[in-house]
Chain A
């Protein structure tokens, strides 16, 4: 665990505050994305903002970069209150952003990419070239203005993005998950660059959920959870365990564990499930399989929780079980019957309910009425169809039933799904996936982005179904949810299940957090 040595730069505790956020709040219909955000970013520091996906980091950054306007709160930059209506306002105020996905034109030179859209600053000729050379020199970015971007690697492209921001005169640079696309050596180079930047007096806002990296480069760390800032600490005095604990929280009203209903009848058996890396993998994935040799069994009445840091194979595991990932090898059995080769539809018909991770993209037709969304995924089954025809009446009646039983707050079933809040959308999805008496429910982040009331209701529904013998595969980033609901917890790390199960009755979020980051004592051997 490294902590950065303040190399003669401004003291993180006392330097000038360049960005001051106070009481920032942002609400989308039915979802509170941010509230009461308070952050001070000081000159000459790297300020990390950490939090699980969905915690509200991206909304916060969009607000700071002028993409979205906050509903409440104030933003001060260099001591002046600002009103950021668009990214160009933000650039004007000295805030620049480097996105995770680069925005560079491959067939342009570095010079052309940098001046694109900023032609007024130094023209497009020698003056601009000289300025790029100067910046490259000053910050050790090692950028040649006259090479084609398509000839450059990922690390160099990222440096161009940083240079673009500097070229536009930014004094505050936001980096969104900058290490996600880099190999370790490139990460080290990036961190060297960041140290140069802060030595020159800039402020860097570094967004990440990789705690080790955060601690090695940041001066200050702010933790965001459930839409608000939980704590801000100097990086020097904090451990990744402590950060993990802050990120996942432990004081939430946890779903209480009940008497075990686990039987010895296996419902889902997964053996040696492997999913090779896509052939044209990014440098960052390094050709590592997305899943390797995953074995797990879920019995009737059992909820198996899978914990893991985002991007370690949870999404792939779910999709492989649902038959959405061609190329997966190994066996998936439901009540002993091999599902291999069966299409997603056949698997659903065999009795698997599916709550996808991203409900807008995978679970709903946003521009279709609720009752048609009831049919989605169940368009071969009663009461939605009769023969080759959709049974409109049956589907509508049953949608009405779901709306009542699952307390979906809506004026009617002809409302478009888009009009509902996240929590109500999710309740409809849960209701839909629970009908037809599934024997297995695959639930990925079932309460993400959902308000607390809906969350409790969803937990209740899952628990009730478990009593009735449902087997559940539960993927969640919310460790309290996992601990509270699961009968067994497994941890996934780099596409593998960490050997050994955790007992939710005894495990703490801290222990899980360590296993998830591969940082703790009880983590499995590192997989290269």
Chain B
């Protein structure tokens, strides 16, 4: 039976490998058509990053990872939380205000801000969950709408909360006091920048996600609902409650997405705060197959591509947008590849089972046939 599981692992790895190869080929094709240097571009992208670059990769992978996990919680239940983007922006803003106001001293302030972010993210996602449960509104639609509302809401509130910094055009919340920041550390010798301390929290989130989904009754209920809602109902799972709870959890995780940046680098929420992280999370969760380790690999891959493509314009005079094509193609091909591999796997198993049955039939003598 470990044989069975090994085989399944092999199949699971085949899909992303297939997708990467396809993405590589298609991107190269685009480069050829555009008349750019294929070798030069891949040479740059696949070069070994310097310490600064490596640090950046780890940092942005941390952020992507949290986003991917937030999306994956929903995916596991067949819920499509497209709203991680809005949820993390509203939540980051809330955390920035709480931390900036510093009602509590030092680390307590940090903890309060993180808690605020998770609560606000959960509440924002909860709206979509509630609409789905009580009114049957598709969470895809409502979360997209809530993203737009989040943009407006944060803009509106930021104006009230912003502090004036004479001479600067950046509108931002009050800076988080020194004592409440999360210090970074040097992971790669010689790097002028530091890895976010928040990376440890991200790892904890990943472990908790894995534990809850795979090891607990709650996680079982969640996965069962995702696999078959009808079977879940018949097995006694309260599906409506599960929808609401998993939307809340997804939103709470989404609330963490912006925090590594907030506590490790920006120290305030302002007009240059990174956006679009929630959408990257969708791609990464798909790529990582909702598995905590898969998501980590996907996040690292996306972060790596982002970082390595940044100098393309300077080095190769090719727009870094080319990696957006690569990333997009990876996501599309990975979905197709997973489905192809899944069907192949099922057929393989069916054949095995049939073979096992046939073998028994030949030895035993069940001559019963369907009567005519």
Contacts and interface: CB of A to CB of B under 8 A. Distances in A.
Interface of A: 29-30, 32, 35-36, 226-228, 230, 251-252, 322, 324, 343-349, 354, 356, 358, 361-368, 372, 375-380, 385, 388-390, 392, 409-416, 418-421, 424, 451-453, 456
Contacts of A346: 236
Contact of B352 (A354, A368, A378, A411): A411
Closest 8 CB pairs of A and B: A345-B236, A419-B349, A377-B235, A362-B234, A344-B236, A412-B1, A414-B4, A365-B227
Point out which of A354, A416, A424 has the most chain B C-beta atoms below 10 A from its C-beta: A416
A409 B353 contact: yes
A358 B227 CA distance: 16
Contacts of A415: 4, 349, 352-353
B231 A361 contact: yes
A372 B353 contact: no
Contacts of B346: 416, 418-419
A478 to B, nearest CB: 12
A230 B236 CA distance: 41
A346 B236 CA distance: 8
Contacts of A411: 4, 352-353, 356
Given A345-B237, A413-B1, A420 B353 contact: yes
B235 A379 contact: yes
B215 A390 contact: yes
B233 interface: yes
A419 B355 CA distance: 12
A415 B345 CA distance: 10
Contacts of B1: 412-414
B138 interface: no
A424 to B, nearest CB: 8
Nearest to A409: B357
A30 B370 contact: no
B213 to A, nearest CB: 11
Contacts of B237: 345
A127 B216 CA distance: 65
A412 B4 contact: yes
A379 B353 contact: no
Nearest to A365: B227
A453 B371 CA distance: 12
Contacts of B223: 368
A377 B236 contact: yes
Given A358-B230, A389-B217, A418-B346, 19 more contacts: A30-B354, A226-B371, A228-B370, A324-B234, A343-B238, A361-B228, A363-B231, A364-B228, A364-B231, A365-B227, A366-B228, A367-B342, A379-B217, A379-B221, A388-B217, A411-B353, A411-B356, A415-B353, A452-B369
A369 B351 CA distance: 16
Contacts of B231: 361-365, 376
B371 A390 contact: no
B231 to A, nearest CB: 6
A154 B366 CA distance: 50
B353 A452 contact: no
Contacts of A375: 220
Given A385-B217, A389-B217, A390-B220, A29 B354 contact: yes
B5 interface: yes
30 contacts: A35-B372, A36-B372, A226-B372, A227-B370, A322-B234, A324-B233, A358-B230, A362-B234, A364-B228, A364-B231, A365-B231, A366-B227, A366-B228, A368-B223, A372-B220, A377-B236, A379-B217, A379-B221, A380-B217, A385-B217, A388-B218, A389-B215, A390-B219, A411-B352, A415-B4, A416-B345, A418-B346, A419-B349, A452-B369, A456-B368
B370 A226 contact: yes
A30 B352 CA distance: 12
Nearest to B349: A419
A29 B350 contact: yes
Interface residues on B, range: 35 or more
A227 B370 CA distance: 8
Contacts of B224: 365, 368, 376, 379
Nearest to B348: A419
Contacts of B8: 414
Contacts of A361: 228, 230-231
A480 to B, nearest CB: 11
B169 to A, nearest CB: 51
A410 B356 contact: yes
Contacts of B234: 322, 324, 344, 354, 356, 362-363, 377
Contacts of A227: 370
B360 interface: yes
A137 to B, nearest CB: 44
A251 B372 CA distance: 10
A230 B219 CA distance: 49
Interface of B: 1, 4-5, 8, 214-221, 223-224, 227-228, 230-231, 233-238, 342, 345-346, 349-350, 352-354, 356-357, 360, 366, 368-372
A451 B227 contact: no
A414 B370 contact: no
A418 B353 CA distance: 10
Contact of B227 (A30, A367, A389): A367
A419 B227 contact: no
B198 to A, nearest CB: 28
B221 to A, nearest CB: 7
Nearest to B356: A411
A390 to B, nearest CB: 5
Nearest to B230: A361
B353 A410 contact: yes
Contacts of A413: 1
Contacts of B219: 390
Point out which of B227, B231, B236 has the most chain A C-beta atoms below 10 A from its C-beta: B236
A226 B371 CA distance: 8
A444 to B, nearest CB: 11
Contacts of A29: 350, 353-354
A365 B217 CA distance: 15
Nearest to B214: A390
A364 B235 CA distance: 9
B219 to A, nearest CB: 8
Contact of A343 (B216, B236, B353, B356): B236
Contacts of A36: 372
Nearest to B225: A365
Nearest to A249: B371
A227 to B, nearest CB: 6
Nearest to A228: B372
Contacts of B217: 379-380, 385, 388-390
B244 to A, nearest CB: 16
Contacts of A35: 370, 372
Nearest to B355: A411
A419 B4 CA distance: 13
A390 B350 CA distance: 27
B242 to A, nearest CB: 12
Contact of A344 (B228, B233, B370): B233
A348 B237 CA distance: 11
A384 B69 CA distance: 27
Contacts of A358: 230
Point out which of B228, B231, B346 has the most chain A C-beta atoms below 10 A from its C-beta: B231
A416 B223 CA distance: 15
B211 to A, nearest CB: 9
A365 B76 CA distance: 14
Nearest to A349: B236
Nearest to A369: B4
B368 A379 contact: no
Contacts of A416: 345-346, 349
